[in-house]
Structure 1
Amino acid sequence: MDRTGTNLPAVGEYNQTVVLDAIRRRPAGITRSELAALTALSGMTVTKVCRRLIDAGLVDEHGTRTSGPGKPAAVVKLNPGGGFAVGVHIDPASVTYVLVDLSGTVRDHTRTGTPNAGDPSAVIEEMANAIEALITGSAVDRSRILGIGIASPGPVNVEDGVLLNPPMMPNWHRVALRRALAAATGLPVLLEKDTTAAVVAELWFAGPGSSRDFAFMYYGTGLGTGLSVAGEVVRGISSNAGDAGHLTVDPDGPMCTCGRRGCVGYITVPRALVERAVLNGVLSAAEAGDLDDMVDVDAAFSRLAGLAATGHPGAGAILTGAARSLARAIVVIVNLLDIDEVIFGGPFWARISPAILAALPDAVRDDPALVTPHPVRFAQSAIPVDVAAVGAATLVLDNAFSPRPSALLLAAE
């Protein structure tokens, strides 16, 4: 969505973000007069802002464009190499690191095993070393690194930068990650819940006409949900909104770790589907391996998805059942927020997406509990590598370059 600016001199920083955001969303380039019309800023204000952005290396001039009488106008475009952000996604199975430029292109990425947080100082050192290796290996100018974003399973304390008690990560209880990593790297650090980071990424990369009201279903080691309403990320009072994993979708289902039965985040995750495949004779115990080892679960999950893709009826039935369980949870979310799109992503999603999406739309549409009068669309995230890691990097870019109307109130104080 394009935002307009103000010609009041007290809010020049806000105007700069408005102009930069407008340029960023037009990769083919835009003239200053077009920027003025788009942002409702005066031509003089736009010229001054563009001059600052060019001097800062954030945008460049690329040729001219003729439109009507008069001399050709210079075209300004985003300079992707004008700034970079590092994104870190902490998952129970692995940690993914990405380096993203201003255009959102992933310049480099690495993945390591998730360190044991029993020794926080060793964890910080290991992560700082991985980040430095990523920056060095990419050969980008370190002075252009704007900061580091961290995406972690919730719950998190965003204000203090603390991982509180992430599921399936018992040794990461109350790890104060943000300040320690900032001290170790010398770079600003932001921390956010992984599903929230994914929503920030989807909004950052959204094209014209994209939905601004959607849920993001993150399918990884666990199941998480991020939310966007009217183009704004729904964070909640403690920045932990969207935890839909404990919605009951099968009252007679297996007992969840929370003490309730049939929680969607317990019965649809990879480990649960692999366990069901063993119980139903679709996979042998040897093929499943150790269900407490995510490396084994990953491999077994791939076998299960492969069987479903080749038409194995037992494997297909397991994934269809998962789709129906997801549909029940989605109906609750859609009814509550009146959203019109659900986007899926995460490291385990692509393997089962054909089977899930074959059954999910009908299961949602035909659910008698669905009350919204509009159709619900289902889409897959187009963000490469790891959407939460890219989202973590996008947090930094969004914090630095997205126009926020609240800045006007701060400037007026």
Structure 2
Amino acid sequence: MRVGTAETVDAAGMRAQNSSLLLNMIWRERQISRAEIARRTELSPSTVSAIVADLEHSGLVRNIGAGVSRGGRRPTLIGFCDDAYSIVGVELGATHVTAILTDLRGRVRVHRHAPQAVRDDPKSTLQKVKELVQECLEAERVPKRSVLGMGVAVPSPVHPSAPGKLSPLIVPAWRDYDVQEWLKSAFGMPVLVDNDANLGALSECYWGAGVGGEDLAYIKLATGIGCGFIIHGDVYRGSGGTAGEIGHIAVDSSGPQCVCGLRGCLVTLIGSVPLVERARELMGTKGRRAPTVRELVEGARAGEQAARQVIDSLGHYLGIAVAGLLNLLNPAIVVLGGEISSVGDLLLDPLRTSVRKRALSTSMAETRIVTSALGDKAIAVGAATLVLQAALRNRSLFPLQHVGRTA
């Protein structure tokens, strides 16, 4: 490569890097002046003005009026346009599909949810995703060209070399399917895929318990049990994408056989299926249908002894895994998500007791254990946030020209 060409490439790369830097800053601050941007970034005022003009042309930022004077002319403030583009977020649960449409601030504008045999029926599941996403787009009359991309949360580890492929060990029915490629082909937009617990953690990092910037762990309590980590503001996935698979920590060597091949995994004891089955046995209703997780939650809140006993057991076994987590990573916050976590202190109290018996006192003292306040859309919002995070870090992921929301 000739020297002149190399210098041109380097200059283009620097402009792209600075554009992403400013976009992040304006998004984070919500409103800020050009002068303040120049001061913080140490870029020249002319460079800042040129980049801001480009971002204005793309519809990502706009002038929002004069700010407060600090002794001179009142500065013109630049604001981020939260509604410049839409993002699709999809959650594939073991037994349901959720699709949402958000703005660039994580606010949910449309929500669709349907029961679905995700683990066992990939073909129908993907068709259901297509149907629900299309409903979201039509509800807001959003053309696909105004959608930044789609994030998808899946109930499986995701290997970085094949992000669309689910683990055949965990969900064998999906062996021949590539979620990313299928949805890219169906919608003609960028698609990013990650593990559901990882995206629950990302959602908490941006919009929930972790907005203060602390490292956190998010534990999803559902049909499966998974954990996502945020370390220094980023999801930690491990070398092969399996970091956080606490559901497959063996906590009882004589326990039931797990689908992963191990025995006594945490998920075999506190996944939603064994939980409601245990509740049925304790309630003396064997032979009749097991209660739903929602009924178990309502029973525990109402003081039903069997339901409380099941929740206590959940807290005990989960505490074994959480204690190890605190000793190994010592996150500032552990967030519990999933419908069962809505019982609040009825779960947190036995969990904390179990942790105290097993974790180093210094680890326990530095960690808050809380339940999520983000509700049942948390993981789908995390999926949309995955796309938002990628675009804020790489300005080129936004379309070159803003096309608006109308067809």
TM-score normalised according to structure 2 size: 0.85
CA contact (8 A) 1:156 1:165 kept: no
User: How far apart in 2 are the matches of 1:379 and 1:207?
Assistant: 8
The match for 2:383 among 366, 372, 392 is: 392
Q: Are residues 1:195 and 2:197 paired? A: yes
CA contact (8 A) 2:91 2:380 kept: yes
Change (3 A) 1:208 1:325: closer
Find the counterpart in structure 1 of residue 348 from structure 2: 357
1:59 Cα deviation after fit: 1.4
Find the counterpart in structure 1 of residue 166 from structure 2: 163
Find the counterpart in structure 2 of residue 309 from structure 1: 301
Gaps of at least 5 residues in structure 2 are: 1-9, 396-407
CA contact (8 A) 2:153 2:380 kept: yes
The match for 2:317 among 312, 325, 332 is: 325
User: How far apart in 1 are the matches of 2:369 and 2:93?
Assistant: 25
Find the counterpart in structure 2 of residue 401 from structure 1: 392
User: How far apart in 2 are the matches of 1:8 and 1:205?
Assistant: 35
Change (3 A) 1:147 1:258: closer
Sequence identity (%): 30
Give CA deviations for 1:31-73 in whole Å, capped at 9, x if unaligned.
Answer: 2222233334333332222211111111122111123122111
CA contact (8 A) 1:283 1:304 kept: no
Change (3 A) 1:403 1:335: farther
1:95-114 matches, cutoff 5 A? 95-114=97-116
User: How far apart in 1 are the matches of 2:184 and 2:394?
Assistant: 25
1:61-140 matches, cutoff 5 A? 61-114=63-116, 123-140=125-142
Find the counterpart in structure 2 of residue 186 from structure 1: 188
CA contact (8 A) 2:348 2:370 kept: no
CA contact (8 A) 1:154 1:166 kept: no
CA contact (8 A) 2:97 2:128 kept: no
Letter in 2 for 1:17: S
Letter in 2 for 1:328: I
User: How far apart in 1 are the matches of 2:134 and 2:320?
Assistant: 44
The match for 2:149 among 147, 150, 169 is: 147
CA RMSD of aligned residues (A): 2.7
1:254 Cα deviation after fit: 3.7
CA contact (8 A) 2:169 2:260 kept: no
CA contact (8 A) 2:98 2:114 kept: yes
CA contact (8 A) 2:335 2:370 kept: yes
Give CA deviations for 1:347-376 in whole Å, capped at 9, x if unaligned.
Answer: x23433331113222332343556637421
1:111 Cα deviation after fit: 1.2
Find the counterpart in structure 2 of residue 339 from structure 1: 331
Q: Are residues 1:39 and 2:31 paired? A: no
1:166 Cα deviation after fit: 6.7
The 10-residue stretch of structure 1 (312-321 or 177-186) with the greater mean CA deviation from structure 2: 312-321
CA contact (8 A) 1:320 1:356 kept: yes
1:213 Cα deviation after fit: 1.6
Give CA deviations for 1:103-125 in whole Å, capped at 9, x if unaligned.
Answer: 11111110123266878666544
TM-score normalised according to structure 1 size: 0.84
Change (3 A) 1:271 1:115: closer
CA contact (8 A) 1:331 1:370 kept: no
CA contact (8 A) 1:204 1:398 kept: no
User: How far apart in 1 are the matches of 2:109 and 2:75?
Assistant: 32
Find the counterpart in structure 2 of residue 411 from structure 1: none
User: How far apart in 2 are the matches of 1:165 and 1:377?
Assistant: 35
Give 3-state SS (helix, strand or coil) of 1:92's partner.
coil
Find the counterpart in structure 2 of residue 410 from structure 1: none
CA contact (8 A) 1:216 1:227 kept: yes
Q: What is the aligned residue count? A: 385
Give 3-state SS (helix, strand or coil) of 2:321's partner.
helix
